[in-house]
């Protein structure tokens, strides 16, 4: 493995993903020569890029663009990077850019590839997949299809809570560290089995709204999947609409699905299809730190 100080360019629009990438650069004494971020396409905007820009140190060079070939490529070529590290970016990074770095271009995808390829790997939690985890892979022309350099996985518990976050974060860190070490060594990686691929589509508007006729454990995992990176869980209760950031089962409590059984501060106990759930609620337009952001401080 090459141990010299590397010039690294990252592509990130999610604050938590930017922090994972910059943490690896800092811990390995590499140089973060450019952060590329974007407001995203009109069809799938990425407004959280603004927090990435806000969180980055003032000495960090940042390029905000939607035009990779016209704007990003000439700058990246001039910077002569050793490595590109992408972790949350809504555009395909062109092969012409991937060919520039000395050691190539690598993407981090926080699922167990080839499962949950695509823009929304948080579906592994929403759907109740058998396993969850993270993968690092070479960037290929199609999203999340490149040869895998490193992967980590664990069984998804029946009750998905925020206790999953530290374990998931550790797996992400491991696949970044191990995968990039392999990339720098020139490891070609392992081809993905396309027959096992699952596409992780963005959540529809309907999927963001909780259905209290469902069992408590399903509501709990859906809230986690919606909230872990995007804060998208919604609920309408007694005619009032809320944003929901946490859900936990309430034992020994039953009532009609969708009705409020108890209320304390911003927490509501609501009847479900098989019991009750305690929800942490917020005004619909509010924005609170996601579980990954809370973990990273």
CA–CA dist 71, 37 (Å, integer): 12
Q: Are the C-beta atoms of 114 and 192 separated by less than 8 Å?
A: yes
Q: pLDDT tier at 294 (50, 70, 90 boundaries)?
A: low
Cβ neighbour number for residue 277 with a 10 Å cutoff: 28
CA–CA dist 132, 154 (Å, integer): 6
Q: What is the reported pLDDT for 59?
A: 82
Q: Are the C-beta atoms of 139 and 149 separated by less than 8 Å?
A: no
Is the predicted pLDDT of residue 94 greater than 60, yes or no? yes
The tokens describing 282, both together, are 């917020």
Tell me what the mean pLDDT of segment 63-79 comes to: 98
Is the predicted pLDDT of residue 223 greater than 80, yes or no? yes
CA–CA dist 105, 141 (Å, integer): 12
Q: What is the reported pLDDT for 285?
A: 81
- DSSP assignment of 258-283 equals T-EEEEETTEEEEE-SSSEEEEEEEE
CATH class entry, domain 206-296: alpha beta
Tens digit of pLDDT for each residue in 36-50?
Answer: 999 999 999 999 999
Is the predicted pLDDT of residue 296 greater than 80, yes or no? no
CA–CA dist 138, 134 (Å, integer): 14
Kindly report the pTM of this predicted structure. 0.93
- DSSP assignment of 97-162 equals HHTSSTT-EEEEESS-TTTTBSS-TTHHHHTT-SEEEEEEEE--SSTT-SPEEEEEEEEPPSS--T
Tell me what the mean pLDDT of segment 132-151 comes to: 98
Sequence spans of domains, the chain = 7-196, 206-296
Is the predicted pLDDT of residue 288 greater than 80, yes or no? no
Is the predicted pLDDT of residue 179 greater than 90, yes or no? yes
List C-alpha distances in Å: 265 to 47, 51, 275: 30, 28, 21
Q: pLDDT tier at 297 (50, 70, 90 boundaries)?
A: low
Q: What is the reported pLDDT for 41?
A: 94
Q: Are the C-beta atoms of 167 and 291 separated by less than 8 Å?
A: no
Tell me what the mean pLDDT of segment 232-260 comes to: 94
Q: Does domain 7-196 have CATH number 3.20.20.150?
A: no
Is the predicted pLDDT of residue 2 greater than 80, yes or no? no
Is the predicted pLDDT of residue 117 greater than 60, yes or no? yes
Is the predicted pLDDT of residue 265 greater than 90, yes or no? no
Strand (E) positions, 215-259? 234-237, 240-249
**Average pLDDT of the chain, as a whole number:** 95
- DSSP assignment of 10-35 equals EE--SHHHHHHHHHHHHHTT-EEEEE
Cβ neighbour number for residue 81 with a 10 Å cutoff: 23
Q: Is 92 exposed, middle or buried (0-12, 13-18, 19+ CB in 10 A)?
A: middle
CA–CA dist 284, 158 (Å, integer): 28
């Amino acid at each position: 493995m090459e141990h010299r100080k590397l010039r690294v360019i990252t592509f990130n629009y999610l604050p938590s993903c930017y922090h994972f990438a910059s943490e690896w650069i800092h811990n390995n004494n590499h140089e973060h020569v450019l952060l590329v971020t974007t407001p995203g396409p009109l069809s799938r905007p990425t407004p959280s890029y603004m927090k990435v820009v806000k969180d980055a140190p003032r000495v960090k060079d940042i390029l905000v663009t939607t035009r990779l070939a016209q704007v990003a490529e000439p700058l990246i070529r001039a910077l002569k990077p050793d490595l590109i590290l992408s972790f949350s970016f809504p555009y395909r990074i062109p092969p012409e850019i991937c060919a520039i770095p000395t050691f190539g271009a690598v993407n981090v995808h926080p699922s167990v590839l080839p499962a949950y390829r695509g823009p929304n790997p948080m579906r592994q939690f929403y759907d109740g997949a058998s396993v969850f985890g993270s993968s690092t892979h070479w960037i290929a022309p199609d999203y999340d299809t490149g040869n895998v350099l490193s992967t980590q996985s664990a069984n998804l518990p029946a009750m998905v809570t925020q206790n999953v976050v530290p374990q998931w974060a550790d797996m992400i860190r491991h696949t970044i560290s191990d995968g990039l070490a392999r990339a720098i060594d020139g490891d070609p990686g392992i081809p993905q089995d396309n027959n096992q691929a699952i596409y992780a589509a963005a959540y529809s508007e309907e999927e963001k709204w909780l259905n209290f006729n469902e069992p408590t454990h399903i509501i709990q995992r859906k809230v986690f999947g919606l909230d872990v990176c995007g804060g998208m869980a919604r609920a309408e209760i007694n005619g009032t609409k809320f944003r929901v950031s946490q859900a936990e089962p309430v034992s020994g409590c039953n009532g009609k699905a969708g009705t409020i059984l108890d209320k304390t501060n911003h927490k509501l106990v609501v009847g479900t299809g098989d019991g009750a759930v305690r929800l942490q609620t917020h005004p619909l337009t509010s924005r609170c730190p996601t579980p990954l952001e809370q973990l990273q401080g």
